[in-house]
Amino acid sequence: MSKHPAVQVIGFVLTVISVVFLVSSLAKLDLEQFSRLPRLELVVVTAAAACGYAALLTSVAMGFAALVRATGYAAASSEEGMVVWGRANIAKYLPGNVMHFAGRQWLASRFHWPQANTAAASVLELALQVLMSCSIGVAGLLMSERLHLTSTSAWVIPAVLVSAIVLAIAFLGHRRWTRLPDVVHRLLAALSLRDLRAFAVAVFLYGAFFLGFCLIGWLVHAWLVHSVDVSLLPGMVAVVLLSWCAGLVVPGSPGGLGVREATMILLGAPLFDHGGLVLTALLLRVISTGGEGLMFALACRLPRRQTVPAPVPQSPSSNRSTA
């Protein structure tokens, strides 16, 4: 995330702590519970969930293209977004957890996307992902029946927060603030929304990804514990999204590896059985990694650069008329 030594040290320490906590949680796991799982069903469930996760990632890739359009480059297509986002995303597993951003900039140049618009879209995406995952995750936590809170009060604060942030970005970018430094003016200009409809499409697509991922987590947990309990869905929404956000923001953790699983186990301890929760966290990592691999393979099958239409040959009659 940052080249500052202190930030790197903090990220490394948090990652080590998460891995140690994850190992200690695995040590408490009843291995017989895992050994009793039907092998064929496990493979089928994992493969089907990975395909579903890959399908959800296509919505994120199209959402990223919509963010590029929202910043002012209207020519960014969904197919190009799938190539740029899908091929670059796999690089987040490299040390530093930032190489996928650099990969986007490089791949975007093949489609003649402006570098400034691509970078602004990445910043907007990061802010949107943190905002939406935390808002929906907190809402799910508050809606959990085990916390004895009403669903009405749960959605008020996240809804107001999302609306305020979206309106602030759209409003600030189009105003001239005379007392702000020039660097702030340039930043607001880069992040200002030129196409609010495209931004709304991006919000919808990212929201579909988050809710779909939560549904996969709930279904996987239901299969592992052999119990379909709808009352556990809000809690699963909370632990899946808040742990996903933790894996996103911790600097230096490749793809949030270890951090996401440890956070999910820690947050879900009051809501779920330990064995089922640990197995769910591990299986979701396998599913998400497999889905990202499928998304990468799909992106590699699509055109890797912008296709330039061939010139239309002139007919003999038009040549005679011009002569």
pLDDT band at 1 (very low <50, low <70, confident <90, very high): very low
Q: What is the pLDDT of residue 213?
A: 97
Could you tell me if 239 and 267 are in contact, meaning their C-beta atoms sit under 8 angstroms apart? yes
pLDDT in tens, 151-182: 444 555 555 565 556 555 555 554 555 565 66
Q: What is the pLDDT of residue 250?
A: 80
Other Cβ atoms closer than 10 A to 79: 15
Structure tokens at 293: 């691999």
Residues with Cβ within 8 Å of residue 216, at least 6 apart in sequence: 49, 52, 53, 56, 284, 287
Our separate counts of H helices and E strands in the chain read: 13, 0
Rounded CA separation 121/119 (Å): 5
Q: What is the pLDDT of residue 251?
A: 74
pLDDT band at 144 (very low <50, low <70, confident <90, very high): confident
Smallest CA-to-CA distance from 67 within 125, 115, 110 is with: 125
Rounded CA separation 25/259 (Å): 13
Q: What are the extents of the domains in the chain?
A: 38-304
Rounded CA separation 25/274 (Å): 8
